[in-house]
Every structure is written in structure tokens, then in C-alpha cells.
Structure 1
């Protein structure tokens, strides 16, 4: 078994949305701290770390290499890490992710990121459909409150929805 860490869409934009009239990510600081510890654990275990970067067309504030597109500075990639550009909620769709994972002999994925109900959910299901063993790291993904549900309710609901596709694990229990 060879495991990789997938960090989905933890770019600057979701973390600054609150500064522009949007909502704050649920437990933002805890999310960043737990993800940083998970990254350190993966690197110490010589497991590859893949940063999945949601990318919009050129000219957008979220297009490649724009300030809002960058990975949040607290969890920035190191030289040995992999950056995957994606244009869809599914991190595998029309990206190099599956090819790179297979090239590295990866069969198990620990997944974290934002937003729980969009890109994280879709990526977990897509990874499962491609035959990967999947761990959804329950304290390393998050979202925003919606008009109907709190972020905590959304996250808990998705843990139940995703349980058939992924082991729901705490970051302290993830092994690389």
C-alpha cells in the first residue's frame, strides 16, 4: 500500500472571501493547523503530497498564478510536492492527477480541502470509482454555512454520505 496526501483547493480565495462580503470557512485556523500537521506527517513518511488547484480561465482573479489562486501560505507546497491544475469539481476530470498517482504507484489517498460539499465530495467519489482506497480526513476539510445549514451540519452530513466511499478518519490517526 502506497499512500498520497491530496489537498483540494486550499487556495487563498476561500480564506479571504469573508473579507469581501462572503462567509468565513468553518474553523479556519483549526483546518489550517491540522492540515499543516498532516502535510508534515506525509513528508516525514516520504509520501507524496499533491496540491489540487482549482483554476479559472485567464483574466480571472482565480486564474493560474494570480494572488487568489495561490495555495494558502500556511500550507504552501515544498519543492518536492506536486501541483495539479483542475477546472472542475472533480479533481480527476481533465487533469493529470490519475496519471501522476499511477506513475507514483499510489493506491491509497488521504483527502482534505475545501469545500466539503463540492470538490471534496466529488473527488472522494471519483477516487473511489477509479479504484483507490480513500481516507477522508474529518478534521482537515471544511466549508461555509449555507442559508439552510451550518457548516458543521454540512460536514457531518457528508461524513454519512461519503462513508461508503471512504474511511472517515481523524488526522491523528492517518499513517503514511
Structure 2
């Protein structure tokens, strides 16, 4: 791990090596559409659409994760908010995996699907930065995948103020801290457009 004095993140000095898969985490209507969307959801959607388009063009594997929330939550299965916001192109072999925990690898076939496709290197994007995105990135690293995380292609909500000990923490700060907490095991790049895809 890097020491606190070295920044493990953002903007590599050399071109990013290609990845063979794109993992889109919980880009569901409750989180990126309407009044309940994360801050700057439109910008986030633009970045993820760009990643999807280029992954598809290159023949990289695309997997979208869909969280099954508890009853009464915005992402409760079967509700409009639970639906993935960006279409899954099954004709191209794209995969939709449902999950009930933060880490998309836990209790799912994600690792098996990646191994079967010959994927060793992947990019992660989506929501929420400090929860499912971070947990899935860590899960990938723990399973010896190389992981790239584009800074402008993940998002989250503001953390509300807590009376007596904390003001509101802006969403952008939460996302940045989530990146930092991943240390040097994940390659954080400044822009989605820095990510390069290749066929597995």
C-alpha cells in the first residue's frame, strides 16, 4: 500500500493499459433519474454511456449489476426505481446480474463469468462510490483482477449533517475519499475517456 504522503490516484503518467470488461454498478432509475438522483446524475450518465459505447465497440465483456433493495426502499425489486436505467444489450452478450450485498462478487456468478470469458483486467463505474462501487472494486482486487476506476464515472449522495459533530459532506468529497481509501491497488484515472477496452 502507498504511504499517506503519496497519492495513489488520478491521471496516470502513461497511457492506461486496456481492460477486457466493464462492470456497471447499480445504475438504477432510483439513483440516476428523477428527484432522487445522485448529484450531477446527467454527467454521470454521459460518462457511463461513453464507457458502454466504447466497451461494446471493442468487444469487451459488459456486466451490469442490479441491486435488490429491501421492501420499501427506492430499489425494491419490481418497482420503477429498481430497473436499470441504461439498457442491457443481450444481443451482444451483455449480462445483468442481480445482487443483495455491496460487493458484486459476493454471492453471485460474477467471478465465474469473468473467468469463463478470459477477463483479467476490468473497469468499474456506477453508484454508490463509497458502498457498492468501492466494495466491488475491492472484491475484484481480492480475486486478482486488475481494476481501473474512472474518477468521473462513479457517484453518490451528500452525507447529511450530524448534529454536534459533522456538517454536510458533499457527494464529490465522499467519492474522492472512497477512491483514496482503495489505495494503490486500484488504478484511479481522471476521465472515463482515459479507459481503453479490448476484447478478452
Instruction: State whether TM-score is above 0.5.
Output: yes
Larger Rg: 2
Q: Take 1:123 and 1:3, find their aligned partners in 2: how far apart are those partners?
A: 16
Query: Residues 99-154 of structure 1, C-alpha deviation per residue, up to 9 Å, x if partnerless?
Result: 11111111111000100010011111111000000001111100011123100111
Q: Closer, same or farther in 2 for the Cα pair 1:57/1:155, shift >3 Å?
A: closer
| Partner of residue 192, structure 2 | 171
Q: Which runs of 5+ in 1 are unaligned?
A: none
Query: Residues 6-34 of structure 1, C-alpha deviation per residue, up to 9 Å, x if partnerless?
Result: 00000111134x63xx5x41211110011
Q: Which runs of 5+ in 2 are unaligned?
A: 1-17, 161-167
1:158 paired with 2:178, answer yes
Calculate the aligned-residue CA RMSD, in Å: 2.0
- TM-score, structure 2 normalization: 0.78
More strand per residue: 1
Q: Looking at both structures, which has the greater relative contact order when contacts are Cα pairs under 8 Å and sequence separation is at least 6? A: 2
- TM-score, structure 1 normalization: 0.88
Q: Take 1:143 and 1:3, find their aligned partners in 2: how far apart are those partners?
A: 26
1:3 paired with 2:20, answer yes
Count of matched residue pairs? 170
How far the C-alpha of 1:155 sits from its partner, in A, is: 1.2
Q: Closer, same or farther in 2 for the Cα pair 1:92/1:116, shift >3 Å?
A: same
Q: Indicate conservation of the 8 Å contact 2:22/2:61, yes or no.
A: yes
